[in-house]
Structure 1
């Protein structure tokens, strides 16, 4: 997965952290959790606030 695979990342985060409310996750933790996903393989430098916002929004949507 790459940073642009927003929906795949959100799905994996919801499975990896089922008891976490994505609204309470700060971007530092979110970035670290994404990079820890087993299928994730992208340059950490390519991640910005807009990508993290999109991942968080998709994660919230995934739970609804």
Structure 2
């Protein structure tokens, strides 16, 4: 059983996004695309309307740092 994902679980969200989109160039992802991908993750359980630019930028930054150590 997988853990549910919430907006404050940015690292776990990043890991799931890396599994779902292993070949994506993180630098080409826009905020709107990221939002759609996150809310479409199977274990995402939070309210989509709680997202804001700061949360999405944090996820994007963490993803970038994960693939570019």
TM-score (norm 2): 0.88
Structure 1 residue runs of 4 or more that deviate by more than 3 Å after TM superposition: none
Q: Which residue of 1 aligns with 2:23?
A: 19
Task: Point out the structure with the larger helix share.
Answer: 1
- State the superposition RMSD in angstroms: 0.7
* Bigger CA radius of gyration: 2
Residue ranges of structure 1 left out of the alignment (5+ in a row): none
Q: Count residues with an aligned counterpart.
A: 64
Residue ranges of structure 2 left out of the alignment (5+ in a row): none
TM-score (norm 1): 0.94
